[in-house]
Structure 1
Amino acid sequence: MRATADSTVILRPHELRLKRRSDSSIWQIHYKIGSRKKWLRITSKTSNLADAKKIAEDLFHEARVLEKRGLSVVSKKFKAVAEVVSGNLKAQVKAGTGKKSYADYYRAIDSYLTPFFGNYHVDNITPALISDFHRWRTEKVGYELKASTQNNHNAALNCVFDYAVEQGYMSESQRPSTKNTGEATEVRGIFSTDELIELQQFIHKWSAQGRATKTRYLRELLGLYVTFIACTGVRPGTETKNLKWKHIEFIQKPSMRIIHVTVPEGKRGSRELVARNELWPLLDKLRELQPEYKDLTLEQLIAKKEDKHIFRMRDGTLPYNLVNAFGDCLKESGLDKGDKDGKPRSLYSLRHYYATQRVLEGISFGLLAKQMGTSILMIERHYSHLRPLMVAEQLAGVIPSNQEAQTDEILRFMNPSPVRNDVISLVGASTGIYLPLVEANARATKELKDELNKAVSKAA
């Protein structure tokens, strides 16, 4: 055990002591309260030992009372706590270990929370003060922030409170409730499958009409980009800007091959998703755009785990502005007037389209939320109205009354038209390749063939 220094005076063993550094005449009070493992330190502001002892004892008794009442023993200004939290968030973002939302949090702390709450003690922020903050923020920006932005601010505020509670600067009972007075973000417009096919047909012509080579390359890539988002549900921009060939792998299952995608960056960091097997012609078309891979098959390229971006133009460069290009495309094609409800459409509408199609297929909200990297609550909020349509075909369908009709129904499933399969139709419209069922799902093909043979035998 380390020997006690001459400048240390023990008042209560393991609980309270005075200590004076060799370079100062002022006594420092060191104390522990309850189960707290860390020594708390505060200056006595006096060099007189008798006075320092009295101040230390008074402080210790007051601290014990505060702890018994469930209050913080040590108080800190909000600014001091917030600066530490903001610094930690910035370090995690810079190191690539933090969530993407951490950048939103530290910006909220630096731009809004610290300027308003900075000089208040973190354990003395009341619900009334939270309301004052909302009024101040609205005056600062000139309008009421959307609910999603206010949620980010609330999450950032709770990060500060979490750290304050952890350090003992406030108790959990002193944490004020946050509030959100913003309007929910309006749901983006949606596309129908027919509209996206029409859009792809337009892009083919539009690409050839570009005056500059770069423009033609950009429009060509845009067509493939649109279909990729519509068929995978990834977030445009956020989850595609750093997507590389090494992030895709083919996994062979007993019934079919799975396209497994690891999204390197997303709203909540890296995530994984499974793409429909029908997507492989689109990936092959993206391979063809990149001259260095012209001698490789898609399978060979995927196996090489190339550290190069998937969405590159024919000259090897990254697209300079797909957002503006998509807006121009909608305008030129006449699809910029909004959807059937008049809601404006953007690249993000393609993700909305993906979710809608999967819900109508009957995929569970839990599985869809995991696939799209979002919460079940968010899926339910936006797509629960589609539940009745999930079984519409079963409720409204007519069961064939004869074997010939049954055979026709089986054949219709074996040779799905673009109208019945949105993934096949969109990939086909983008690449000219329509993946037949036998390649999409060998087991389903065999089952359907067996049923067809049975039906034919009975009919004979």
Structure 2
Amino acid sequence: MTEPFQLFQRAGSSKWWVRFSIKGQGQIRKSLDTTDQSEAHQRARKAFYEASYRAENGLTATVVKFATVAEEFIAKIEREVKRGERNVAQGQKAPAIIRRYFVGYFGDRAVDGITDRDVSAYIEWRKDYWTTGPGKDVAFIPYMRDGRQIRRPVTKHEVPSLSRQRNESVLLRQLLRFAARQGYIKQTAMPEIEVTKAPDVPRPSFTADEFAKLTQTSLARITNTPNDRVQRDRAILHAYIMIAAFTGCRPTEMKGLNWGDVLGYRDGREKPLAERDIRLRVRGKGKSRIFVPLEAALPSFDILWMLAKSALGREPTDSDPVFVSTQGKRLDSVKRSLSELLSACGLLTDHRGVRRTSYSFRHFYISQQLMAGVDIFILAQNTGTSSDMIHRFYADVKLELMKDHLRPEWKIHATV
């Protein structure tokens, strides 16, 4: 009887190998890890029928290691980033998460052998990674930048936040779904991954009085310094605050803003303020949008234009950044200067003790627009978010809007 496989030995080796073909998947070669021909024959038969069974059930004929699938998934992410189909930041962070945590735990295990129980054990391992697990003694994390390896210090050894746990669970689920589409796992056998939902916490913002105090202090700090460099930095920070608060831009969108993105600004520069109108074109979260800012943001663009002209020694071009350093480079961050200003005002944290950041001005903008009666759907479009997100995170503002409805005149008839 002719066997559907062939045994052979490679030159210079006494171990037996098997080769056979599976329809639609080509020829497969596999080491049988034995020098005994009789044992090799039994193992070859088993390998062939296992491969045939997998192929008949829509899987790849050979078992694939988790680490192999992980690298294929990383390559897919990198291609999506190049095509603009995935956020650049995700393309930078996802490979490190996959290699450190997912491959660090599942490694060379067969990807189709991972069960619900394995995933649950991984989640617990991941929570303890930096406290009692493999990362507890790690002081630095190496990574590549511009073709050379550098390292950054590990500043915190703590349990990951609920938000981070959620994001990583979503990424692991994407990887396993990719494995299923590639035929490495049966769709019905894919392990269940529960995504932890972080509680909806109101964003740290400002009241109108707090914002007024902040802007007044900011202006005073500009005029009360004899140092030209410090005065310029504080003027840029003040303009940053005003634009962030009256446009609702995300910090990442502000950082990437060029003068060519301030649509209508150049043509209207010589006109009276009341006759000028601009739109902003911003990029962030892997998307771009054009939106309408409040008129109160316009004077701050004039200040930034003047400061950019001084730094560059010429009028800014469309490709020049709106927020520019004294060296004519794109301003990287206002984190330190903003923290100093917030501390000077006593506004570094909100009433709950939650620290305010540059993102707080976006929340201030959304809150004030809601208070002014702007339709939630239109506001969501203008700010590049969803109406669901506004409903979830600005419930306290909506409650304030409904205060008159919550104070009706009761008609109570006294009984004798």
* Local SS of the residue matching 2:253: coil
Identity of aligned residues (%): 26
* Local SS of the residue matching 2:281: strand
Displacement after TM superposition at 1:314 (Å): 5.8
Letter in 1 for 2:280: V
Indicate yes or no: 2:292 matched with 1:275. Answer: yes
**Structure 1 contact 190–353 (Cα < 8 Å) conserved:** yes
1:61-460 residue pairs with structure 2 within 5 A?
A: 62-63=50-51, 65-66=53-54, 73-90=61-78, 93=81, 98-99=86-87, 100-142=89-131, 143-181=158-196, 184=199, 186-210=201-225, 212-236=227-251, 238-250=252-264, 259-264=278-283, 266=284, 268-278=285-295, 279-291=297-309, 306-313=318-325, 316-319=328-331, 321-336=333-348, 338-390=349-401
Q: Aligned pair in 2 of structure 1 residues 388, 324: CA closer, same or farther (>3 Å)?
A: same
Q: Aligned pair in 2 of structure 1 residues 314, 207: CA closer, same or farther (>3 Å)?
A: farther
- Please report the TM-score for the alignment, with normalisation by the length of structure 1: 0.66
* Local SS of the residue matching 1:261: strand
Q: Structure 1 stretches of 5 or more lacking a match?
A: 1-9, 398-460
> 2: distance between equivalents of 1:257 and 1:31?
71
**Structure 1 contact 70–173 (Cα < 8 Å) conserved:** no
Displacement after TM superposition at 1:211 (Å): 5.4
Letter in 2 for 1:276: P
> 2: distance between equivalents of 1:262 and 1:281?
18
Displacement after TM superposition at 1:280 (Å): 2.6
1:236-258 Cα offsets, whole Å, 9 max, x none, are 1x222222112232399xxx976
* Local SS of the residue matching 2:278: strand
Please name the residue that 1:29 is paired with: 20
For the pair shown, the structure with the greater C-alpha radius of gyration is 1
> 2: distance between equivalents of 1:344 and 1:226?
16
> 2: distance between equivalents of 1:378 and 1:277?
22
> 2: distance between equivalents of 1:129 and 1:148?
22
Deviates more, 1:138-147 or 1:174-183: 174-183
Please name the residue that 2:148 is paired with: none
Letter in 1 for 2:368: Q
Letter in 2 for 1:274: F
- Please report the TM-score for the alignment, with normalisation by the length of structure 2: 0.72
> 2: distance between equivalents of 1:196 and 1:317?
29
Higher helix share: 1
* Local SS of the residue matching 1:287: helix
> 2: distance between equivalents of 1:391 and 1:81?
52
* Local SS of the residue matching 1:41: strand
* Local SS of the residue matching 2:257: coil
> 1: distance between equivalents of 2:99 and 2:73?
10
Letter in 2 for 1:108: I
**Structure 1 contact 258–277 (Cα < 8 Å) conserved:** no
* Local SS of the residue matching 1:141: coil
> 1: distance between equivalents of 2:181 and 2:236?
50
> 2: distance between equivalents of 1:73 and 1:376?
47
Please name the residue that 1:410 is paired with: none
Q: Aligned pair in 2 of structure 1 residues 271, 320: CA closer, same or farther (>3 Å)?
A: closer
